[in-house]
Every structure is written in C-alpha cells, then in structure tokens.
C-alpha cells in the first residue's frame, strides 16, 4: 500500500471511528436498551480492551502473552479486595492496573531480555501458578456485601467500559503511529537487525508489556465493578486468555480494527452457542480458532484484499 | 526425615522427567511448542483409567497399550495440525504452533469433560496404599513402580535415539534439518514419528498421573507448567538433560513443600523458573 492510500484509509477510519463513538455515547440515552443488551455490550467492551492489549504485544511486537488471565484476574481480585475494604471504585480500578504492572515486572524483566519463547512460557507459568494459588488461598465463593448492589447502575458500567475502549484504542493507535510503534515492528520482523540499528529490543518490549498489562488490569477492575467478584478462581482460568486471543486472531493481528471486529464476532458466537449447545460451544470455538490460525493467518480484516483479488481473477478482471 | 524428603523428591523428580521428555522431544526436533501436552497426558490417563475400571487391566500392564493408542493419536495430530504449519514462514512457525495447540486444549479438555464429566478420577488398585519401609524410609509401591517404568522409558528412548536409523534421523533433524534433508533423510516422516513418540510419552506420563494423583479434564495445564519448568531447567532444546532437571526440580520442590506447605508448590516452580532465567538462561547443565 502506498503512502497516499494509507492516509486516505486512515482518514476514513477516523470518520468511521468518530461516528461509532458518537453512536455508542448517545444510543443508551436515546433508546431504552434494557439491561441484557447493555450487559452484552459491556462484555464486548471488555473483550475489545483485552484483545487490543493482547494485540499490542502479540500483533505489533510479536510477543505472545499466553497468560493474559493472570493480569485480568489480578485486576479483578485487587479491585474487589480494595473496594470491599472501603476504597472508592475508580481508585481501586487504577490499583488493579498497577498490580497487573507489578506482575508484568516479575515475568517481563527476566523473560523479555531473552529471545524466543521464554516470554510465552513465563506468562503461562505465572498464570497457572496464580490460578492454583488463588484457588488454594481463597474460598470458592466470596460474600459480596449488600452495599455493592445498592444504587447499582448498569448504565454507569456501560460508560466505564466504553471509556476503557476509547482509552485503549487511542493508546494503541498512538503507540503504533509513533517511533515506538516502528521500533516494535522492527523487533517483530527481525530482532537482530533491529539491534544492529541501535535499538534496545528488551527496553521496548518491556515498556509495551507494562502498558498492555496496565490496560488489562484496568479492564479487570471494571469487570469486577460490573459483576461483583463471587468466585475468585474463575477470572484466572485460561478461558480469559483464550477469548481475547481468539478475538485478536480472528480479526487480524497487528491491525487497529482487527481486534474490534474479532471481539464482535467472538461475543456474538459465544452468546449464540452458549444458549444453544451449552458446554460444547468451547469445542466449536476451539476448532474455529484453529482453522482461522491455519488458513486465515491474517484474520478477517486483512483477508479482504486477497479475497477481492481472487474474486476479480475469477471473473477475469484485475 | 531428611532421608524421607530426598527419597520422595527423587521419586517425584524422576517422574517429572517423564512428564517433560515428550515435550522436550517435540520442541528439540520440530521447534514446535505443544501447549496441549498436559491435555494429552489427561487423555492417556483416561484410557488407562477405563482399561482398569472396565476390563480390570492393571495400569502397569496397560502402559504399552496406552502408548500405542497415543502414538496413533500423535500421528493424527501431526497430519492434521503440525504438517500444515510447514507452509508458514520459519519465523512464524513457533508462535503459530503455540496458538493452535492452545486452541487444541480448548477442544480436547471440553471433549473429555463432555464425555466423562469433570469429576477427578483415580486408578485405585489393590496396592495403591501399600508402602514398603527401608531403613525407616517409607516408599509407596505405586511410585516405585512408576520409577521403574520411567527408567525403562529412559533406556528405551536412549537406545532408540542412538542405535536405530529412525532415532539417528530424529537426532540429525534436531541438529540441523536442512543438512539432514540434504543427506537424504525424509524430514516429514521423521517429524511424524517424533510427534507420535512425543504424544505416546505424554500417554505414559498420564497413566502414572492417574495412578499416583488424579486426572480431570482441566488438569492438563498444571502438568504442562511442570513440564515447562523442567524444560527451562534443562535448557530449551536439550533432550538428554531433561531427566536430570526433573530430578533436581523434584527434590527442590519436595523440600519446599515440607517447609512451606503444598499449597505453594506452583509458586515454588515459578520462582525457580524466574531465577533460572535471570541467572542461567541457557539451562543448568550447559557451559
């Protein structure tokens, strides 16, 4: 794609993005959506934040975090521990993000200095260790004080979720279109070559891992505010890594619109399947995911161009 | 007491070697990371569990049957999932292998849960609770049996890798697949066999889990964590040092369990993992 094309596509994206933002801001004010739709949209927002944070590191920097649940779960857990201890909810969300960054230090600093899959193994190791330990230390279900349900407003959660989406997409967009973004792509494509030009790959990777974990921790806090933590272990299960990863891969790694589109597809699939085939829906989504990774490695967003070319070839025009 | 801890650590540790060796083989030869290794262990455990409960076959006798079944499963996995990976550019293969085996976990675990519920299952033989005492050290019979099986597997694997054509071609491919291919080794077939053996070894380890611990559909990731810590301990890509690394991990872990309790077993593994990466990222045994 040439420079001109990219700026036109970028401008078009801004316009579409602006319209969408306005739509989602005004929609609940104009129409009475009901708590089911608002909850579904909130879930969608959380998935967009998680898959975009994953994409920032996995898609743009080529570092696969396969223990995303650890950062999400720690956001959820620290939010509820702090909130039930009397800390204001928004402050507790920030704290959730910070706890996630501390965890990111533990894994990121030793593993991201090394090349290869140490980072992936490390994130998985942390996620599993946390899941098992939280399962051992915390009771299966936690009592949520009745004060939590007083003045519960789903609309407030909706706007928090939406604000997080805007923050995340803006952060990712800014990073990708800055020098840092260029450095990340250079590291992803050839770490040795990037080093030779004077970049310090570890520094960039660790910085971006912190940003990504912070966003995931914030999302964990918001989710806890929405749901009220009842079973602590549940948020640490690999499902919470799998969903966002799936959404990012379906949509298209290393793109802005990919994780958003992927999250929409994923949330709809999950909603439809869990109501029709129950537990078997994990099997179907798992197979779907494997097929996407093997046969559509660029995701739905970037498959448009080759598909169009293929169709044009069929009718004999190019 | 120290003798008891060390004896237990050795029994657990050698078994950890068995848990990790299949994963190490696959990674060493193909450079693919099979995140679903633990889930395959659970499937192996289920096969031996049903052979025991339905047909009364002793788990030690069913190990060869389980390994054969898992070998065939491993070949199917290679045909369906791993061989299409060969079309990917080399830099993307490792990451993609992790993504698809991560998807595979979701499929395998939930198929197991659907078929056999998520209740944990254990093979309870007549000798399950039996221990023998030597110099005041109590040794559970089942664990001693697993120790014996692991030694047989180590020796068989060693002989296979060093004495047979297939084994030598696996080692050559692990060393440098392009050179091996130039020398006339059929890389595709080597990968096929290596992936079959890797999954078969997971099956053997799973049988032992069903006998000594318990299996459940979602128990795979916990064992994968152990296998991965052993792998990093041995140095990634090293097949030979895996048993040594497992042994060390077992002893360290059992000692820590004695002092701080079993709830933090996974945390101890994680701390060891981080320390190794900080100070000896090439593994404990490499110069």
Considering only residues 257 to 286 of chain A, which have any Cβ-Cβ distance to chain B shorter than 8 Å?
279-280, 282-283, 285-286
Indicate the residue of A64, A137, A242 with minimum beta-carbon distance to B98: A64
pLDDT score at A311: 61
Q: Which residues of A touch B269 (CB under 8 A)?
A: 125, 129
**Is A312 near chain B, with CB under 8 Å?**
no
CA distance B33 to chain A (A): 9
What is the Cα A236 distance to its own chain's centre? 15
pLDDT at residue B46 above 90? yes
**CA A112 to CA A74: how far, in whole Å?**
21
φ, ψ dihedrals at A113, nearest 5°: -75, -25
What is the pLDDT confidence band of residue B277, given thresholds at 50, 70 and 90? confident
Structural domains in chain B, sorted by start: 2-279 (1.10.3470)
Considering only residues 65 to 124 of chain B, which have any Cβ-Cβ distance to chain A shorter than 8 Å?
81, 84-85, 88, 92, 94-96, 98-100, 102-107, 109-111, 113-114
Bridge partners, A144 (sequence order): none
What is the Cα B215 distance to its own chain's centre? 14
Q: What is the mean pLDDT of residues A196-209?
A: 88
pLDDT score at A318: 41
DSSP string, A234-291: GGGSTHHHHHHHHHHHHH-TT-SHHHHHHHHHHHHHHHHHHHHTGGGHHHHHHHHHHH
Nearest-CA neighbor of A55 among A244, A285, A269? Answer: A244
| pTM for the full predicted model | 0.88
**CA A53 to CA A213: how far, in whole Å?**
7
Q: What is the mean pLDDT of residues A37-64?
A: 92
Model pLDDT for residues B11-45, shown as the tens digit of each residue: 899 999 999 999 999 998 888 999 999 999 999 99
What is the pLDDT confidence band of residue A50, given thresholds at 50, 70 and 90? very high
Q: Which residues of B touch A128 (CB under 8 A)?
A: 221-222, 224-225, 266
**Is B57 near chain A, with CB under 8 Å?**
no
More confident residue, A15 or B193: B193
- DSSP for residue B121: B
Across the interface, whether the CB atoms of A117 and B225 are under 8 A apart is answered: no
Indicate the residue of B33, B104, B107 with minimum beta-carbon distance to A117: B33
What is the pLDDT confidence band of residue A3, given thresholds at 50, 70 and 90? very low
pLDDT score at A1: 40
Mutation to test the A interface, candidates B35, B86, B87, B107, most A Cβ within 10 Å: B107
**CA B241 to CA B34: how far, in whole Å?**
19
Across the interface, whether the CB atoms of A279 and B278 are under 8 A apart is answered: no
**Most distant CA pair in chain A, distance:** 68
Nearest-CA neighbor of A277 among A234, A286, A246? Answer: A286
Q: Which residues of B touch A296 (CB under 8 A)?
A: none
ipTM: 0.86
Q: Which residues of B touch A242 (CB under 8 A)?
A: 102-103, 106
Mutation to test the A interface, candidates B102, B216, B276, most A Cβ within 10 Å: B102
**CA B118 to CA B141: how far, in whole Å?**
28
pLDDT at residue A69 above 80? yes
Neighbours of A170 (CB within 10 A): 11
Residue of B nearest to A246 (CA): B103
What is the pLDDT confidence band of residue A31, given thresholds at 50, 70 and 90? confident
Q: Which residues of A touch B230 (CB under 8 A)?
A: none
Tell me what percent of the residues of chain B surpass a pLDDT of 90: 35
**Is B232 near chain A, with CB under 8 Å?**
yes
Indicate the residue of A114, A129, A290 with minimum beta-carbon distance to B100: A290
Nearest-CA neighbor of A156 among A60, A20, A283, A35? Answer: A35
Q: Among A120-129, A203-212, A243-252, B234-243, name the one with the lowest average pLDDT.
A: B234-243
Model pLDDT for residues A128-149, shown as the tens digit of each residue: 888 888 888 887 777 777 777 7
**Average pLDDT for chain B:** 88
Considering only residues 248 to 267 of chain B, which have any Cβ-Cβ distance to chain A shorter than 8 Å?
263-267
A-B Cβ pairs (cutoff 8 Å, strict): 121
What is the pLDDT confidence band of residue A13, given thresholds at 50, 70 and 90? confident
CA distance A289 to chain B (A): 6
pLDDT score at A308: 62
Q: Which residues of A touch B100 (CB under 8 A)?
A: 290, 293-294
What is the pLDDT confidence band of residue A313, given thresholds at 50, 70 and 90? low
Indicate the residue of A122, A128, A297 with minimum beta-carbon distance to B222: A128
Indicate the residue of B98, B231, B277 with minimum beta-carbon distance to A111: B277
Residue of A nearest to B110 (CA): A283
- DSSP for residue B118: S
């Amino acid at each position: 794609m040439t420079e001109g094309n990219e700026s036109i596509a970028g401008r078009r994206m801004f316009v579409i993005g602006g319209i969408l933002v306005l739509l989602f801001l005004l929609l609940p004010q104009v129409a009475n959506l009901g708590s089911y739709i608002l909850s579904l949209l909130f879930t969608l927002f959380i998935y967009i934040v998680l898959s975009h944070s994953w994409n920032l590191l996995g898609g743009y920097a080529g570092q696969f975090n396969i223990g995303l649940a650890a950062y999400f779960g720690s956001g959820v857990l620290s939010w509820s521990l702090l909130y039930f201890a009397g800390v204001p909810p928004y402050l507790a969300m920030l704290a959730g993000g910070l706890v996630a960054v501390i965890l990111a230090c533990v894994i990121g600093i030793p593993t991201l200095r090394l090349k290869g899959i140490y980072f992936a193994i490390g994130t998985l190791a942390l996620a599993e260790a946390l899941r098992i330990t939280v399962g051992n230390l915390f009771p299966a279900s936690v009592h949520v004080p009745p004060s939590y349900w007083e003045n519960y407003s789903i609309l407030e959660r909706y706007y928090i979720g939406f604000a997080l989406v805007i923050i995340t997409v803006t952060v990712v967009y800014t990073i990708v279109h800055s020098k840092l973004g260029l450095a990340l792509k250079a590291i992803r494509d050839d770490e040795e070559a990037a080093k030779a030009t004077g970049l310090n790959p570890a520094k960039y990777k660790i910085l971006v891992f912190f940003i990504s974990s912070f966003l995931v921790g914030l999302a964990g806090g918001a989710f806890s505010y929405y749901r009220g933590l009842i079973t602590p272990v549940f948020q640490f299960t690999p499902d919470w890594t799998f969903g966002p990863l799936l959404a990012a891969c379906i949509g298209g790694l290393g793109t802005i619109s990919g994780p958003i589109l992927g999250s929409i597809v994923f949330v709809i699939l999950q909603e439809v399947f869990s109501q029709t085939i129950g537990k078997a829906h994990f099997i179907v989504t798992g197979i779907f995911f494997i097929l996407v990774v093997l046969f559509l490695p660029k995701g739905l967003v970037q498959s448009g161009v080759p598909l169009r070319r293929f169709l044009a070839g069929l009718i004999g025009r190019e | 007491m120290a003798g008891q801890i060390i004896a237990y650590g050795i029994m657990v540790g050698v078994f950890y070697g068995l848990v990790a060796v299949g994963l190490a083989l696959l990674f060493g030869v193909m450079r693919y990371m099979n995140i679903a290794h633990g889930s395959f262990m659970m499937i192996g455990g289920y096969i031996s569990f049903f052979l025991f409960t339905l047909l009364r076959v002793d788990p030690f006798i069913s190990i060869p049957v389980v390994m054969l079944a898992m070998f065939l499963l491993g070949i199917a996995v290679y045909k369906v999932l791993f061989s299409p990976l060969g079309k990917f550019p080399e830099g993307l293969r490792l990451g993609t292998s992790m993504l698809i085996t991560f998807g595979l976990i979701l499929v395998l675990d939930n198929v197991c849960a659907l078929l056999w519920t998520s209740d944990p299952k254990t093979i309870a033989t007549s000798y399950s609770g039996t221990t023998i005492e030597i110099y005041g050290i109590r040794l559970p019979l089942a664990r001693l049996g697993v120790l014996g099986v692991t030694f047989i597997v180590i020796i068989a694997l060693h002989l296979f890798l060093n004495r047979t054509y297939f084994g030598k071609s696996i080692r050559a491919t692990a060393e440098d697949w392009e050179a091996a291919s130039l020398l006339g080794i059929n890389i595709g077939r080597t990968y096929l066999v290596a992936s079959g053996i890797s999954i078969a070894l997971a099956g053997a380890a799973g049988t032992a889990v069903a006998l000594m611990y318990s299996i459940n559909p979602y128990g795979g990731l916990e064992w994968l964590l152990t296998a991965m810590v052993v792998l990093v301990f041995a140095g990634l890509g090293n097949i030979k040092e895996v048993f040594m690394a497992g042994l060390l991990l077992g002893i360290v872990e059992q000692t820590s369990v004695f002092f701080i309790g079993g709830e933090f077993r996974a945390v101890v593994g994680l701390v060891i993992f981080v320390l190794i990466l900080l100070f000896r990222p090439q593994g404990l045994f490499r110069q």
